[in-house]
């Protein structure tokens, strides 16, 4: 059975990372070891990296420059999990480069993210987050990543991201546009505001972000390097996909997961 961890995160960005890192410590360290890390008196150190030092450095630079809250969360996660900050960033850069999600679409009154392949044995984490100065939200992520692949906030803005693998990073920003989902979920309340945000903000690579809000509006935006293009939200059904499926209901503020080795589970933002 695939692993699904639940964590409660609250406070400033670094506090959110500390909470996730503490709750997912074993999974994060297992993922680090799978990438060639060794355990040395309680700390993880990498013997090798799949990404060049120059690319990892550029990712770290643009994460700090354009996504400062996520950078602070990564620092907190690293501290709680026993990783150097540079190694936590390298772990994130590697996973994001491979592409974490499968097919994103509108289904019924909500959204679906169908993972084409099951995640690593360390599975996924469901985060119930109360950020300082932001909207309370419910998101799904990998244990070692502070960025979400699906989520919904207290105002009913829901989003899923189809992060597409690339052989070489495209765009002037070396931090991927898939990270924009977290900013939208934490700060915005309508689809139109989310689209406008994604159009204005930096983020490279290739991704499709699909949004739906409590009023029923739905739309998507394609990211290809520095280019942005609004598109109609693709439609589908959970029954169309055999692998793990994530469903998000913006009106009920519910996130559900089933299939692909996961026991069916349902989570609500409003307790």
Please report, for the domain that includes residue 156, its CATH number.
Answer: 3.60.60
Structural domain span for residue 75: 4-268
Give me the pLDDT at residue 19, please: 99
Distance, in Å, from the CA atom of 90 to the CA atom of 54, rounded to the nearest integer, reads: 11
- For the chain, how many structural domains are there in total? 1
Residues of the chain with pLDDT under 50: 47-48, 51
Give me the pLDDT at residue 238, please: 75
Q: From residue 33, give the alpha-carbon distance in Å to each of 30, 46, 57, 174.
A: 5, 8, 21, 25
Give me the pLDDT at residue 48, please: 47
Distance, in Å, from the CA atom of 128 to the CA atom of 141, rounded to the nearest integer, reads: 11
Distance, in Å, from the CA atom of 185 to the CA atom of 194, rounded to the nearest integer, reads: 8
Pairing mode, strands 37-40 and 4-11: unpaired
Give me the pLDDT at residue 93, please: 83
Give me the pLDDT at residue 105, please: 94
The token duo for 144 is: 């070692």
Give me the pLDDT at residue 244, please: 87
What is the share, in percent, of the chain residues with pLDDT greater than 90? 64
């Amino acid at each position: 059975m695939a692993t699904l961890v639940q964590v409660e995160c609250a406070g400033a960005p670094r506090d959110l990372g500390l909470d996730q890192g503490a709750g997912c410590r074993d999974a994060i360290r297992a993922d680090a070891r799978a990438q060639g890390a060794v355990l040395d008196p309680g700390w993880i150190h990498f013997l090798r990296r799949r990404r060049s030092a120059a690319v990892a450095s550029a990712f770290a630079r643009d994460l700090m420059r354009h996504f400062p809250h996520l950078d602070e969360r990564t620092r907190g996660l690293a501290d709680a999990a026993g990783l150097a900050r540079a190694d936590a960033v390298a772990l994130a850069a590697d996973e994001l480069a491979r592409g974490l999600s499968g097919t994103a679409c509108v289904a019924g009154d909500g959204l679906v993210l169908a993972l084409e392949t099951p995640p690593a044995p360390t599975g996924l984490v469901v985060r119930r987050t109360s950020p300082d100065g932001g909207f309370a939200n419910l998101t799904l992520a990998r244990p070692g990543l502070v960025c979400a692949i699906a989520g919904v906030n207290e105002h009913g803005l829901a989003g899923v991201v189809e992060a597409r693998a690339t052989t070489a990073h495209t765009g002037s920003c070396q931090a991927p546009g898939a990270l924009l989902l977290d900013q939208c979920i934490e700060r915005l309340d309508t689809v139109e505001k989310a689209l406008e945000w994604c159009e204005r903000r930096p983020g490279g690579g290739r991704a499709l972000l699909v949004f739906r809000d409590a009023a029923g509006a739905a739309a998507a935006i394609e990211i290809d390097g520095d280019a942005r293009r609004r598109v109609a939200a693709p439609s589908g059904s959970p029954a169309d996909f055999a692998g793990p499926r994530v469903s998000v209901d913006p009106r009920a503020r519910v996130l559900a997961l089933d299939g692909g080795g996961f026991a069916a589970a349902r989570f609500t933002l409003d307790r």
